[in-house]
């Protein structure tokens, strides 16, 4: 037969009902798993994000190419404008010289 001392020794080794009440249940594990799955991305979600990232990368690349084209066009127009400006100044000077030689008085309106 077991005496009180033996029961106390066994109680210190084995858990009591109170100890087991504090353990995690299958439902707790299921709830935790559900919470984790709502946070962690699935394989399909990752593949979808990779596809979207590839589309975004392609779009950004297209924008960069377009921007480079616009910058080149602006550069060309700037050079052309400078050449036209110089040519216009030269023509204005020539017209003034011709008017002086001919004795023509040019009037601005």
79 falls within a domain? yes
8 falls within a domain? no
Instruction: Specify the DSSP class assigned to residue 53.
Output: H
Domain that holds residue 78: 14-102
Close Cβ partners of 2 (under 8 Å, ≥ 6 residues apart): 10
What tens digit of pLDDT does each residue of 46-105 get? 888 899 999 999 999 999 999 999 999 999 999 999 999 999 999 999 999 999 999 998
77 falls within a domain? yes
pTM of the model: 0.48
3 falls within a domain? no
41 falls within a domain? yes
Look up residue 108 and give its two tokens. 């601005």
**Residue 21 pLDDT > 70:** no
23 falls within a domain? yes
49 falls within a domain? yes
Domain count, the chain: 1
7 falls within a domain? no
Q: For residue 67, what is the enclosing H or E element?
A: helix 43-102
Contact of 77 with 88, CB cutoff 8 Å: no
């Amino acid at each position: 037969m077991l005496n009180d001392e033996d029961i106390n020794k066994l109680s210190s080794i084995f858990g009591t009902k109170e100890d087991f009440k504090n353990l995690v249940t299958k439902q707790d594990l299921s709830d935790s798993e559900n919470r984790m799955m709502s946070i962690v991305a699935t394989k399909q979600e990752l593949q979808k994000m990779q596809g979207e990232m590839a589309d975004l990368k392609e779009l950004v690349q297209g924008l960069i190419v377009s921007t480079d084209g616009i910058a080149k066009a602006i550069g060309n127009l700037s050079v052309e404008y400078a050449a036209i400006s110089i040519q216009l100044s030269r023509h204005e000077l020539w017209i003034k010289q011709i008017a002086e030689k001919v004795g023509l008085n040019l009037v601005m309106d």
